[in-house]
Amino acid sequence: MKISRVLVIGGAGYVGSHFSFFAGNNGLKVTIMDNLSKGHRSALRCSEFIEADLLNYDNFLKHLSDNKYDAIFHFAASCLVGESVQDPAQYYKNNILAAFNMLEAMRLTGHDKVIFSSTCAVYGYPQRLPLDENHPKNPISPYGRTKLAIEWMLEDYNVAYGIRSAQLRYFNAAGCEPDFGLGEDHKPETHLIPNVVRFALKLSDELTIFGDDYPTRDGTCVRDYIHVMDLADAHLKACSKLDEVPMIRYNLGTGRGYTNLEVVDSVRRISGVDIKPKYGPRRPGDPAELVADAALAHENLDWKPTRSDLDSIVKEVIKWFSLCPQGYPN
Ligand SMILES: NC(=O)c1ccc[n+]([C@@H]2O[C@H](COP(=O)([O-])OP(=O)(O)OC[C@H]3O[C@@H](n4cnc5c(N)ncnc54)[C@H](O)[C@@H]3O)[C@@H](O)[C@H]2O)c1
C-alpha cells in the first residue's frame, strides 16, 4: 500500500525532525504531534503541527478518531540513561504509559501500523560483538527497560489485535542537515559528537571523556554512529515492509565503531583546533563497545547507510554549530 498521510509523534525532536523533513521530501503529508518538552518549534518540518502530550489519552483518542493516518511514527520518549536511573518514574510514565495510550487509541480507531524508535540499550552489556538482534536482552537502565517493555507490548498487540509494528533499534544517532536548518540540540547534551564540536568552537568550557581504561584500542569507549538521514530512510523502508510482514525488529547501525578519541581526532583534524579533553571516571552502565550487526536491515529492507562516514558527520555538526551556536532559537 502506498502511504500518503502520516503522524509523527515527537517530530520536533532531533531524530523526528529529520525524519519529518525526509518524509515530506518523499511526498508524504506529515502531521507532527509534540508537547515541545524537548523539541523545538523551529525544527518542525510538516504540513500540520499539533502541540499535545501523548500522556493526554482522551485528547489523543479524539484526534485519531477524527483523522485517519496510513502509519504512525513514534519518536517521543524520555531518553537520558543517567536521568532514568535518578528518576525512573518519569521514564515508566512518559515511555511506557504514553506508548500504551498510543496503542490503545490505535486499537480503538483502526490504526494498524506503527514504527517505533527502540535502542541498542535493550541489549545491556554485550556478550558478543557485533550485536545482532538475537543477542540476549538484559537492559541495565530504566531507559533501556522501558524500551524493551514497549517492544513486548508491540508484540502482544500484534498477536492479539493485529497492530503491525517496526521496532528499530538505533545505535548512536548522529549528523544533521545544517543546510536545511536542522541540527542536534538536546538540553542537556549527552552525546559525544556535538559536545566535542561545541568544545572545539569554544561554545563550552569543558570536555570530559568518561573512562580511558576500557579494553579497547585506545582505552576509550567504542560506539557505532548512524546518520539521522540514514535512520529516516530506514524508517520509510520499514514502514513499507509492514505490508509483507506483521512485525519486524532490526538494528540500525553501520557495523563500524569509533572510539571516543577517534571522534575527538576527527573534530581536531576538521576544525583545525587542538582539542585537549579531560578524563573522568567511567560512567556506570557504559559498555566498552557497542557496535551493530545490521545485516537484517541491510538485507530485508534493502537499506544501506550512505551518510554515516564519521568525518562527513563531523563537518555537518561543525557547520550547524557555526550557523547556530546556541542551537535552535527557541
Ligand atoms: N538520539 C539517539 O542517539 C537515539 C538512540 C537510540 C534511540 N533513540 C530514540 O529515538 C527517539 C528520538 O530521540 P531524539 O534524540 O530525537 O530525542 P528528542 O528528545 O530530541 O526528541 C523526542 C521528542 O519527543 C517529544 N516528546 C517527549 N515526550 C512526549 C510526550 N509525552 N508527548 C509528546 N511529545 C513528547 C519531545 O518534546 C521531543 O521533541 C527516542 O525515542 C529515543 O529513545 C535515540
Domains observed in the chain: 5-172+226-252 (3.40.50.720), 178-223+255-323 (3.90.25.10)
pTM here is 0.98
pLDDT at 132: 98
> What is residue 285's predicted lDDT score, i.e. its pLDDT?
84
Q: For residue 325, is pLDDT > 70?
A: yes
Give pLDDT, residue 202.
97
CA 36 to chain centre: 16
Whether 301 contacts 244, CB under 8 Å: no
Is 194's pLDDT higher than 80?
A: yes
Per-residue pLDDT, averaged over 267-271, amounts to 98
- Identify the helix (H) or strand (E) that includes residue 33: strand 29-34
Q: What Rg, from alpha-carbon coordinates, does the chain have?
A: 19
Q: Answer yes or no: 143 catalytic.
A: yes
What's at 267, amino acid-wise?
V
User: What residues does ligand 1 touch, defined as CB less than 6 Å away?
Assistant: 10, 12-16, 34-39, 53-55, 75-77, 79, 94, 98, 117, 119, 170, 172-173, 186
Query: In terms of DSSP H, where are the helices of 242-309?
Result: 260-271, 295-300
Q: What is the pLDDT of the chain when averaged over all its residues? A: 97
Q: What whole-number distance in Å separates Cα of residue 176 and Cα of residue 181? A: 9
pLDDT confidence of residue 83: 94
pLDDT digits (tens, 9 = 90+) for 126-156: 999 999 999 999 999 999 999 999 999 999 9
- Percent of the chain at pLDDT > 70 equals 100
Cα(285) to ligand 1 centroid in Å equals: 20
Q: Which set of grid coordinates corresponds to residue 156?
A: 502482544
Q: What confidence category does residue 1 fall into, taking pLDDT thresholds of 50, 70 and 90?
A: confident
Q: CA-CA-CA-CA torsion for 117, 152, 166, 89, nearest 10 degrees?
A: -20
The residue to mutate among 18, 42, 55, 79, having the most atoms of ligand 1 within 8 angstroms of its beta carbon, is: 79
In the reported structure, the alpha carbon of residue 90 is separated from the centroid of ligand 1 by a whole-number distance in angstroms of: 14
Res 2 pLDDT > 90? no
Compute, in angstroms, the gap from residue 15 CA to the centroid of ligand 1.
7
Runs of H (alpha helix) within the chain: 14-25, 57-66, 81-86, 88-91, 98-109, 142-161, 192-200, 228-241, 260-271, 295-300, 310-323
Q: For residues 32 and 24, what is the distance between their CA atoms, to the nearest angstrom?
A: 11
Determine the Cα angle at 303 with ends 124 and 171, to 5°. Answer: 20
Give the active site residue among 14, 69, 143, 258.
143
| Per-residue model confidence as pLDDT tens digits over 238-266 | 999 999 999 999 999 999 999 999 999 99
Q: What pLDDT is attached to residue 330?
A: 65
Express each pLDDT in 89-119 by its tens digit: 999 999 999 999 999 999 999 999 999 999 9
Quote the pLDDT of residue 49: 98
51 and 34 Cβ atoms separated by less than 8 Å: yes
pLDDT band at 236 (very low <50, low <70, confident <90, very high): very high
pLDDT beyond 70 at 18: yes
